[in-house]
Chains A and B, each alone.
Chain A
Amino acid sequence: METVSTDVAIIGAGGAGLRAALALAEAAPKLRIALISKVYPMRSHTCAAEGGAAGVIKPGDSLEQHFDDTVGGGDWLCDQDAVDYFIAEAPKELLQLERWGCPWSREPDGSVAVRPFGGMKLMRTWFAADKSGFHILHTLFQTSLKYPSIRRFDEYYATELLVDGACCRGLTAIEMRSGQMRRFDATAVILAGGGAGRIFPFTTNGAIKTGDAMAMAYRAGVPLKDMEFVQYHPTGLPNTGTLLTEACRGEGGVLLNKAGRRFLQDYGMGPETPRGHPVLKTMELGPRDRVSQAFWQEQKKGNMLPTQWGDCMLLDMRHLGEKTINERLPLVRDMSISYMGVDPVRDPVPVRPVVHYMMGGIHTDLRAATPLPGLFAAGECACVSINGANRLGSNSLTELLVFGRRAALSALDFVEQKKDAKPLVAEADRAQARLRELFQRTGGGETVAGLRKEMLQTMEEHAGIYRSGEGLGAACAKLAELRRRYRRIELHDKTNVYNTDLLQALELGSMLDCAEAVVQSAAARRESRGAHQRLDFPARDDRHFLRHSLATYDAGGPPRISYQDVVITKSQPGVRDYSGAHA
């Protein structure tokens, strides 16, 4: 097997992976860095993020307030020491991006502009029109071209981490164009492979969000934390699932039921604010979990607009005017017209909640280190946790930068202390053999598309915005069954060059692991908190569940669920108040 020897291997070249690579290249110019991604970096899903990245810069704002918004928004499941670190680093990271040339939108005086965003008391979301993630990604990628020490392995699909008893020592990856497996010997590995939204059928996530990094860590024995917390973004297009940014509401857009009436005030987010003059942290600028849950409740009452793609609410932006929409929401306008045939300047756009982000992920501490020495993680695939039970919009793009860098520094520390490197040849050969077995398998009877469809159906039906013990039990059983049937998948395509049947089979394996972690963790958490809502346990239960769930791999069976306390420092669990009363 061809091998690559490197000091640090980064899996995933989106915002977090690229930021880690840059941090390493700048801190240690002689360090060998391998940046490995199953897609070319500019295809990473960071490009689809629209709204912006939060960081305190304006007078009148304070780190304290960003902290409070985040911890409250996360329904007190955030580790407060990590949030403290995150909040403080946020403005520095966003400023660094500006120094690298990111085209942030500006105030008339030339300073960086900020916009209002859901769940935030004050405006602190830096933005680049409505393509913030796109501009951040391209700024990072183009800047990375400056550093020859960042060696890229584009379109390499990482399959397994190589672990000896004590630490992680590298990985195996398939060079997609040739189908050949390579062994990467690395002193430290940083996972930055993104989330797993594709386990649900209606999602803003692109095809590549299949939880491969999460699954790799999981199978190497690293627990997945808080997987039950899946965020629904309230405003996705009902046919494609693609995202209409929260900034639509930040700029003043409102949500209407089929009668053309705003309804969020009926669900604790009132009183109704004047149209076009949003008040932060109430009504349409409430946090995503509350808004999505309000949709579900309103839908139960029969007040949602039935469309050919299911029930929808209406996102009305007409009162913003053509000029504002073209300036601040051009992508939104383009997408609504192209995919829905609706021009937001003239008509309200039908939208509905779609899966968007996974608060949970690979268990790391606030230094982005996993419990496995030599393995670090950052970005959506990781769970520090700064987002707790529900993430505030615009904290995620910042999270990529802060923890991308943090993981890099931790990895660098680790590399500088480590003396021995031991290529794990036998482990790599075993990984190769496992792949070969899948390739050569005949008569299995199962197909990638077939199992995937069943997984999607199960998740949609039983692991949605509102869950029940019965439903989750059914989902757990179903996913265990799918896990077993997965071993009988047979490939239609058994050739080597750019075999996407194989790719999708491997991605399905990752998704099944992630999905099982989600439903098992959800079944065990008998309370409602943030994005995890149980019809049979509708209240928050701090006494038993002010804790992170940890789903640990147990070969051949469902994950073992255990718990870990949340770090509480300054902010004691309180009531999440998104009514106008707090203003």
Chain B
Amino acid sequence: MSRAPYERPITSEWIFRHPRYLRYMVREFSCLFIGGWTLLMVWGLHQLSQGPAAWAAFLELLRSPASVGFHLLTLAFALYHSTTWFNLTPKALPVPFIAAAHYAGWAALSVVILALAL
């Protein structure tokens, strides 16, 4: 009869209500940079297929300050994303040492890639 349940409107202020939500959004936001980096790599492959001049131009682009800045940011986001992801893995797969196993795998893979690159 006199009921009138009140629904409080949802705004994006929730992101700032507690540090955990901001951290979450940063984690999710990282996908923009990682996605962007992937596109850059695809572009690089394409340039490779266009011959040595195009490839050289691409490498020049990579050396530009903007590109370096972008790569540093992307690396930071990727590290953040990876560490948060690995740390959360035990919740999804409650197997002993699973997080450590992820880090170990990451380290091993990094060593291999570095060896190939150098």
Establish whether A and B are touching in the complex (CB under 8 Å): yes
Q: What is the CB-to-nearest-CB distance from B2 to chain A, in angstroms, rounded to a whole number? A: 5
A178–B2 alpha-carbon span in the complex (Å) = 7
A464-523 with Cβ < 8 A to chain B: 495-497
Report B-chain residues with C-beta under 8 Å of the C-beta of A179.
1-2
Interface size on B, residues (CB 8 A): 3
B1-57 with Cβ < 8 A to chain A: 1-3
Report B-chain residues with C-beta under 8 Å of the C-beta of A495.
2
Check A177 for interface membership: any CB of B closer than 8 A: yes
Check A307 for interface membership: any CB of B closer than 8 A: no
A497–B2 alpha-carbon span in the complex (Å) = 7
Chain B: which residue is nearest A495 at the CB level? B2
Report A-chain residues with C-beta under 8 Å of the C-beta of B3.
177-178, 497
Check A180 for interface membership: any CB of B closer than 8 A: yes
Q: What is the CB-to-nearest-CB distance from B83 to chain A, in angstroms, rounded to a whole number? A: 30
Report B-chain residues with C-beta under 8 Å of the C-beta of A178.
1-3
A178–B3 alpha-carbon span in the complex (Å) = 6
Report A-chain residues with C-beta under 8 Å of the C-beta of B1.
178-180, 496
Chain B: which residue is nearest A498 at the CB level? B3
Q: What is the CB-to-nearest-CB distance from A65 to chain B, in angstroms, rounded to a whole number? A: 43
Report A-chain residues with C-beta under 8 Å of the C-beta of B2.
178-179, 495-497
A496–B3 alpha-carbon span in the complex (Å) = 8
A486–B1 alpha-carbon span in the complex (Å) = 29
Report B-chain residues with C-beta under 8 Å of the C-beta of A497.
2-3
Contact with B along A149-187 (1 / 0, CB 8 A): 000000000000000000000000000011110000000
Report B-chain residues with C-beta under 8 Å of the C-beta of A180.
1
Report B-chain residues with C-beta under 8 Å of the C-beta of A496.
1-2
A495–B2 alpha-carbon span in the complex (Å) = 9
Chain A: which residue is nearest B4 at the CB level? A497
Chain A: which residue is nearest B5 at the CB level? A177
A180–B1 alpha-carbon span in the complex (Å) = 8
Q: What is the CB-to-nearest-CB distance from A464 to chain B, in angstroms, rounded to a whole number? A: 44
A117–B3 alpha-carbon span in the complex (Å) = 49
Q: What is the CB-to-nearest-CB distance from B47 to chain A, in angstroms, rounded to a whole number? A: 61
Q: What is the CB-to-nearest-CB distance from B3 to chain A, in angstroms, rounded to a whole number? A: 5
A564–B3 alpha-carbon span in the complex (Å) = 49
Q: What is the CB-to-nearest-CB distance from A494 to chain B, in angstroms, rounded to a whole number? A: 12
A558–B3 alpha-carbon span in the complex (Å) = 40
Q: What is the CB-to-nearest-CB distance from A134 to chain B, in angstroms, rounded to a whole number? A: 24
A202-227 with Cβ < 8 A to chain B: none
A177–B2 alpha-carbon span in the complex (Å) = 9
Chain A: which residue is nearest B2 at the CB level? A496
Q: What is the CB-to-nearest-CB distance from A341 to chain B, in angstroms, rounded to a whole number? A: 26
Contact with B along A553-566 (1 / 0, CB 8 A): 00000000000000
Q: What is the CB-to-nearest-CB distance from B59 to chain A, in angstroms, rounded to a whole number? A: 60
Q: What is the CB-to-nearest-CB distance from B49 to chain A, in angstroms, rounded to a whole number? A: 61
A434-456 with Cβ < 8 A to chain B: none
Q: What is the CB-to-nearest-CB distance from B4 to chain A, in angstroms, rounded to a whole number? A: 8
Chain B: which residue is nearest A177 at the CB level? B3
Contact with B along A119-134 (1 / 0, CB 8 A): 0000000000000000
Q: List 12 A-B contacts (CB under 8 A).
A: A177-B3, A178-B1, A178-B2, A178-B3, A179-B1, A179-B2, A180-B1, A495-B2, A496-B1, A496-B2, A497-B2, A497-B3
Q: Which residues of B contact A (CB under 8 A)?
A: 1-3
| Besides the known contacts A178-B1, A178-B2, 10 further A-B residue pairs in the complex with CB atoms under 8 A apart | A177-B3, A178-B3, A179-B1, A179-B2, A180-B1, A495-B2, A496-B1, A496-B2, A497-B2, A497-B3
Closest 6 CB pairs of A and B: A496-B2, A178-B3, A178-B1, A497-B3, A497-B2, A177-B3
